[in-house]
Amino acid sequence: MKPFQPDLVYFEPAALDYPLGKELYEKYKHTSIPVEMTTSHNRITSLPGDTELEKYRIAKRTLVVGIRKTLTFDTSKPSAEYAIPLATGCMGHCHYCYLQTTMGARPYVRAYVNLDDIFQATDKYIAERSPEVTRFEAACTSDPVGIEHITGSLKKAIEFMGERELGRLRFVTKYANVDSLLDAKHNGHTRFRFSVNADYVVKNFEPATSPLADRIEAAGKVARAGYPLGFIIAPIMIFDGWEDQYADLIHKLHDTLPHVDDLTFELITHRFTKTAKNIIEKRYPKTKLEMNEEERKKKWGRYGRTKYVYQDVHMEAIRVHMKTLVEQYFPQAEISYLT
Interface residues with ligand SF4 (CB under 6 A) are 90, 92, 94, 97, 99, 143, 174, 209
For the bound state, the minimum distance from the C-beta of residue 279 to ligand SF4, rounded and expressed in Å, comes to 13
Choice between 92 and 230, CB closer to ligand SF4: 92
Choice between 102 and 311, CB closer to ligand SF4: 102
Choice between 122 and 142, CB closer to ligand SF4: 142
Q: Is the dihedral of CA 291, 287, 111, 1 positive or negative?
A: positive
Q: Within a 10 A sphere around the Cβ of 39, how many other Cβ atoms?
A: 12
Choice between 35 and 138, CB closer to ligand SF4: 138
For the bound state, the minimum distance from the C-beta of residue 336 to ligand SF4, rounded and expressed in Å, comes to 18
Secondary structure (3-state) at 151: helix
For the bound state, the minimum distance from the C-beta of residue 246 to ligand SF4, rounded and expressed in Å, comes to 18
Choice between 90 and 121, CB closer to ligand SF4: 90
φ/ψ of residue 258, rounded to 5: -70, 170
For the bound state, the minimum distance from the C-beta of residue 90 to ligand SF4, rounded and expressed in Å, comes to 3
The span from the CA of 113 to the CA of 118, in Å, is: 9
The span from the CA of 66 to the CA of 15, in Å, is: 5
Choice between 97 and 178, CB closer to ligand SF4: 97
The span from the CA of 20 to the CA of 220, in Å, is: 30
Secondary structure (3-state) at 235: strand
φ/ψ of residue 263, rounded to 5: -135, 135
Non-local (6+) Cβ contacts of 26 within 8 A are none
Q: Region of 133 please: left (phi>0), alpha (psi -120 to 50) or beta.
A: beta
80 half-sphere exposure, CB direction, 13 A CA radius? 24
Choice between 99 and 238, CB closer to ligand SF4: 99
The span from the CA of 58 to the CA of 225, in Å, is: 36
For the bound state, the minimum distance from the C-beta of residue 208 to ligand SF4, rounded and expressed in Å, comes to 8
Strands, E assignment, the chain: 8-11, 35-37, 62-66, 82-83, 87-88, 109-112, 134-137, 167-173, 190-196, 229-236, 263-269, 297-300, 306-309, 334-338
For the bound state, the minimum distance from the C-beta of residue 174 to ligand SF4, rounded and expressed in Å, comes to 4
For the bound state, the minimum distance from the C-beta of residue 143 to ligand SF4, rounded and expressed in Å, comes to 4
For the bound state, the minimum distance from the C-beta of residue 32 to ligand SF4, rounded and expressed in Å, comes to 26
Secondary structure (3-state) at 112: strand
Choice between 125 and 265, CB closer to ligand SF4: 265
